């Protein structure tokens, strides 16, 4: 029996060789938003993983939208040149489709890198004024963000558009908008972070307004062949917050606008969240979105084993499985999954001799154009 996990799939006009996605993973290793040698090595090894799609980490659309001073950006010519140089090297040895996640951290910006504590940075520590829908800090003891006025909303919407155009110039083949994990677009959606009294706050329709405006503007700016998807937090895991029912309404609105997929995560907007962590704990959320909307969905979160990922696709819980920590632990996860599931995976010729005797036939000997 053929493996559903290793079957092909279409995201709009983009053809994927299999259903495994390299999830966007923040590296906190950029310089002034510019990709560095770290990104060349990091993305280079993941491009050889055998996955069907590689999504570059959350990439800020303006400097104050970075989570940390080390976060990647695509808001200026220097950012674009640096990422272009990395992509040129990566593409020289891999034919995996590469996309990017565009983001704005909102009130969770201006933070220290995780290994430096992750706390909100003051101006004296190299931080900056954050922005958000309302003057509500993420943490009780943090300085409040500046509420966005009409000028600020237009600036950020236009920044998403400009970054999307840069992504298209770079030849990136897919774009995902980050509307999850407590960052700016999620902050507009959640009543825990959005307490505005204007057309962008209050009712569900109003809270969805700005994220949908950003989606519409980015979709209009991208060429038709580049699919545009959205990552959502399907629930805040806090009473009175964003929840699955609201997510389904948001997803339905995105579908009418040409959204190519929904990447279903959860949480991140409040320290009060109570998340029932366990293997595949977010998969039921992805299944609910897929069943209600018919949109292609990505499942993510503590998916670590090949047969677990296979079951998610086979039983219709999601169309795609996005891996993050599992691929950091084992960048060859798709190779081993192919062996376990009796499937094949594309591997560069430099590695063909590594195929173990008991896994003969796993490697598809596809020649990659190399320099």
List, by residue number, the catalytic residues.
183
How many beta carbons lie within 10 A of that of residue 342, not counting itself?
A: 13
């Amino acid at each position: 029996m053929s493996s559903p996990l290793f079957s092909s799939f279409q995201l709009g006009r983009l053809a994927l060789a299999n259903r495994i996605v390299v999830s966007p993973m923040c590296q906190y290793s950029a310089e002034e938003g510019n990709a560095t040698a770290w990104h060349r090595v990091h993305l280079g090894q993941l491009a050889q993983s055998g996955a069907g799609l590689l999504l570059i980490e959350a990439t800020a659309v303006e400097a104050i939208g970075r989570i940390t001073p080390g976060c990647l950006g695509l808001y200026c010519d220097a950012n674009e040149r640096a990422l272009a140089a990395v992509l040129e090297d990566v593409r020289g040895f891999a034919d995996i489709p590469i996309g990017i996640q565009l983001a704005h951290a909102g009130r969770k910006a201006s933070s220290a890198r995780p290994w430096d504590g992750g706390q909100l940075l003051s101006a004296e520590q190299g931080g900056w004024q954050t922005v958000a829908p309302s003057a509500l800090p993420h943490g009780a003891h943090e300085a409040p963000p500046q509420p966005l006025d009409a000028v600020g909303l237009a600036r950020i919407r236009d920044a998403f558009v400009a970054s999307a155009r840069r992504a298209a110039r770079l030849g990136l083949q897919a774009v995902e908008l980050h509307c999850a994990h407590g960052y700016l677009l999620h902050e507009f959606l959640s009543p825990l972070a959005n307490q505005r009294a204007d057309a962008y706050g209050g009712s569900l329709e109003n809270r969805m307004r700005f994220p949908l405006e950003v989606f519409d503007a980015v979709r209009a700016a991208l060429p038709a062949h580049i699919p545009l998807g959205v990552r959502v937090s399907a629930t805040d895991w806090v009473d009175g917050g964003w929840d699955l029912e609201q997510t389904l309404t948001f997803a339905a609105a995105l579908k009418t606008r040409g959204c190519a997929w929904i990447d279903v995560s959860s949480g991140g907007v409040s320290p009060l969240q109570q998340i029932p962590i366990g293997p595949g704990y977010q998969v039921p959320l992805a299944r609910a979105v897929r069943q209600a909307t018919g949109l292609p969905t990505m499942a993510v979160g503590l998916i670590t084993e090949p047969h677990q990922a296979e079951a998610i696709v086979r039983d219709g819980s999601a169309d795609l499985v996005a891996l993050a920590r599992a691929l950091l632990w084992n960048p060859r996860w798709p190779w081993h999954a192919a062996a376990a599931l009796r499937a094949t995976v594309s591997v560069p010729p430099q590695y063909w001799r590594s195929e173990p005797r008991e896994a003969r036939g796993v490697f598809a000997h596809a020649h990659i154009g190399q320099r």
